[in-house]
Amino acid sequence: MSIKSPGKSFREAVNSNNPLAVLGVINAYSALQATKLGAKAIYLSGSGVASASYGLPDLGIVGLEDVLIDVRRITSRVDTPLLVDVDTGFGGAFNIARTIKELIKAEAAACHIEDQVAQKRCGHRPNKELVSISEMTDRLKAALDARTDENFVIMARTDAHAMEGQQKALERALAYEAAGADMIFAEAVHTLEEYKEYTKALKVPVLANITEFGKTPYFTQSELASVGIKLVLYPLSANRAMNKAAVEVFNSIIKNGHQKDVLDIMQTREELYQMLDYYEFENKLDQLFAKDKK
């Protein structure tokens, strides 16, 4: 267990970085890599859990326990505050309450819950459907009421921009802020001016999702900071690179009968050992089980 509340660490990171870069990780090892390279906050994507852990699309197929497995693995290895994607909360009010309580037990720092219907879609795909503002605020009320750590961050994500337009999305964001959301996740926004409209209207921090190959351009952190964005999310950047590298390696082995042509895109054994602190673990074994030399 961390001495400091993970939620408090996340809030401090938001306050002390302008903006805070939140790096997507798909497992404990990538979380360790991000942490050792200096990440101040990390993220577990629902899409990442579905695709990397289960080989499934991001269509609301995985459940709470599927996500918790990966959360626990990550938080058992690093203390970097973890933001978790919980889709629509995994059910009704009592399910949402359980989601929040279990995330806090698992040492997550924050989560975001969205305003799509339960049969959700990826935020950058067409034909999304939204619940009413009142239903989403009910979700938030259930989540907020379930907090066993007041510092745990509950972020409201709105997918309304793509379906209802900017003004309706702003109305929703304001309603979610009024309901008690600690932060707002504005999904699939197209321009810096639109982000600025969010940050001018809201008092709570706003997150920009800079995912690849989606609806939002690749705005830089300095550009986003200039319009008041406080968090910049890169949900699956490293995972996409890992997936592409794996395909290249598999293809090379299948085609050529060896892996010699793709060694340059692999992490070496020594690099792996250094990242894992392998030698420290090995030395501990030697200390614990050294033979008496007297």
Is residue 112 annotated as a catalytic residue, yes or no? yes
Q: How far apart are CA 67 and CA 108, in angstroms?
A: 11
Set 85, 102, 107, 182: catalytic member: 85
Residue 187 assigned to a binding site: yes
Set 11, 27, 43, 176: catalytic member: 43
Set 58, 102, 107, 182: catalytic member: 58
Residue 184 assigned to a binding site: no
Is residue 129 annotated as a catalytic residue, yes or no? no
Nearest to 113 by CA among 71, 142, 74: 142
Residue 147 assigned to a binding site: no
Residue 18 assigned to a binding site: no
Contact 262, 248 (CB under 8 A): yes
Residue 264 assigned to a binding site: no
Set 114, 115, 177, 182: catalytic member: 114
Is residue 87 annotated as a catalytic residue, yes or no? yes
Cα-to-chain-centroid distance, residue 259:
33
Q: How far apart are CA 259 and CA 57, in angstroms?
A: 30
Set 11, 124, 139, 157: catalytic member: 157
Q: How far apart are CA 40 and CA 185, in angstroms?
A: 18
Q: How far apart are CA 152 and CA 71, in angstroms?
A: 15
Q: How far apart are CA 149 and CA 115, in angstroms?
A: 23
Is residue 111 annotated as a catalytic residue, yes or no? no
Peptide bond before residue 19 is cis, with ω within 30 degrees of 0: yes
Residue 145 assigned to a binding site: no
Residue 87 assigned to a binding site: yes
Indicate left, alpha or beta for 38 from its phi (over 0: left) and psi (-120 to 50: alpha).
left
Set 107, 182, 187, 197: catalytic member: 187
The residue ranges of DSSP E strands in the chain, in sequence order, are 20-24, 41-44, 82-85, 110-114, 153-158, 183-186, 206-209, 231-234
Residue 211 assigned to a binding site: yes
Is residue 209 annotated as a catalytic residue, yes or no? yes
Residue 85 assigned to a binding site: yes
Set 87, 107, 159, 182: catalytic member: 87
- Full DSSP string of 50-62: IIIIH---SSS-S
Set 11, 124, 161, 209: catalytic member: 209
CA atoms within 13 A on the CB side of 180: 17
Nearest to 233 by CA among 11, 85, 26, 22: 22
Binding residues for substrate: 122-123, 157, 187, 209-211, 240, 269
Catalytic annotation, residues: 43, 58, 85, 87, 112, 114, 122, 157, 187, 209
Binding residues: 85, 87, 122-123, 157, 187, 209-211, 240, 269
Binding residues for Mg(2+): 85, 87
